[in-house]
């Protein structure tokens, strides 16, 4: 088995260029060919445990799952997805509510690109890997507000809680760019809407998880059919849970603790993640997988190193 190891050293050059060194992979070596991040909005730990999702189960059997990953406060949608994909909390990126817009900033970000956006994983990848291809698929219109579209090669939006075509678009994008390093974010809000409309843990909420699992299964099978599964890292994460009273945004464990999972080459198989984990670690983990040597100094996330099989 391929051996992964860490080089623990202090690199001061990164400080000059506004970047910090992260735990490094061996020189000129990447751990991944592509990352597919599946994001389902509003998935509580209780909902994940109750719903039947054999395709996610099969996927995670090849990887490691956390059921205690802590999200950031407030436990609402845009601040948390921004945190997942920027390696930082609201106190750094300044996205404090679902109503955040670039021209309506209340708390300025501590770091921005030339267009005024806080640096995302997509920016880091584009500046680190000349041939990387990135895609962002979503069905909640406000989700993209906190990200600079200049770092996306493809953007796909579906309205009215539809997500099915985006799974097909994501597959086509991966197939088209199979020779290039690729990062795909594949998101749906319909699960959150089911929670708001009917209540977290309602039959309708559980069904919304089970329905999308079927599309995830078809998506995975198509990748396997093209020989694109084994060299892909898959991640599954969410932004918050919810309460039976049809709400979220508070500070209870049901709202702030969520599933988080990763699978792929070099990842421990069939394990539960025991070390503390936070949503701000997601982007840092993706950067590590792609062998990015430096990330913005403003990022606060870390790589949960126990996910890796070092034997």
Other beta carbons within 10 Å of 231 = 12
Q: Mind listing the pLDDT tens digit for each residue in 192-245?
A: 999 999 999 999 999 999 999 999 999 999 999 999 999 999 999 999 999 987
For the chain, which domains are there? 13-307 (3.40.720.10)
pLDDT at 25: 43
DSSP state of 118: P
Helix axis angle, 164-176 to 203-225, nearest 10°: 20
User: Digits of tens for pLDDT over the chain (311 positions)?
Assistant: 433 333 333 333 343 345 555 554 444 467 899 999 999 999 999 999 999 999 999 999 999 999 999 999 999 999 999 999 999 999 999 999 999 999 999 999 999 999 999 999 999 999 999 899 999 999 999 999 999 999 999 999 999 999 999 999 999 999 999 999 999 999 999 999 999 999 999 999 999 999 999 999 999 999 999 999 999 999 999 999 999 877 899 999 999 999 999 999 999 999 999 999 999 999 999 999 999 988 999 999 999 999 999 86
β partners of residue 247: 243
Residue 306 Ramachandran class (φ > 0 left, ψ -120 to 50 alpha, else beta): alpha
pLDDT at residue 247 in the model: 85
**Chain centroid, CA 283 distance in Å:** 7
Q: Is 127 left (phi over 0), alpha (psi -120 to 50) or beta?
A: alpha
pLDDT of residue 19: 57
The confidence score (pLDDT) of residue 204 equals 97
Whether the bond between 108 and the residue before it is cis, its omega within 30 degrees of 0, is no
Residue 245: per-residue pLDDT: 77
Q: Tell me if 90 sits within 8 A of 105, measured CB to CB.
A: no
């Amino acid at each position: 088995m391929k051996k992964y190891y860490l080089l623990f050293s202090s690199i001061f050059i990164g400080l000059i260029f506004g970047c910090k060194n992260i735990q490094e992979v061996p020189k000129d070596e990447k751990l991944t060919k592509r990352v597919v991040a599946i994001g389902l909005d509003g998935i509580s730990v209780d909902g994940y445990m109750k719903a039947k999702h054999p395709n996610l189960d099969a996927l995670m059997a090849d990887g490691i799952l956390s059921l205690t990953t802590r999200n950031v406060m407030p436990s609402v949608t845009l601040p948390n997805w921004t945190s997942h994909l920027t390696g930082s909390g609201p106190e750094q990126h300044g996205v404090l509510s679902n109503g955040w817009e670039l021209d309506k900033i209340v708390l300025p970000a501590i770091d921005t690109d030339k267009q005024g956006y806080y640096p995302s994983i997509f920016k880091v990848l584009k500046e680190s890997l000349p041939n990387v291809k990135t895609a962002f698929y979503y069905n909640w219109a406000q989700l993209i507000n906190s990200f600079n579209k200049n770092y996306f090669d493809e953007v796909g939006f579906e309205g009215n809680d539809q997500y099915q075509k985006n799974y097909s678009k994501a597959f086509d994008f991966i197939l088209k760019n199979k020779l290039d390093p690729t990062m795909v974010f594949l998101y749906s809000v319909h699960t959150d809407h089911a929670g708001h409309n009917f209540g977290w843990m309602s039959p309708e909420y559980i069904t919304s998880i089970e329905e999308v699992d079927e599309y995830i299964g078809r998506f995975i099978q198509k990748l396997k059919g093209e020989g694109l599964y084994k060299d892909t890292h898959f991640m599954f994460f969410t932004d918050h849970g919810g309460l039976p009273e049809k709400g979220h945004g508070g500070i209870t464990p049901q709202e702030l603790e969520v599933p988080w999972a990763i699978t792929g080459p070099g990842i421990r198989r069939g394990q539960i993640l025991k070390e503390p984990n936070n949503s701000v670690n997601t982007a840092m983990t993706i950067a590590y997988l792609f062998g990015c040597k430096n990330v913005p100094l403003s990022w606060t996330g870390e790589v949960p190193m126990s996910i890796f099989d070092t034997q």
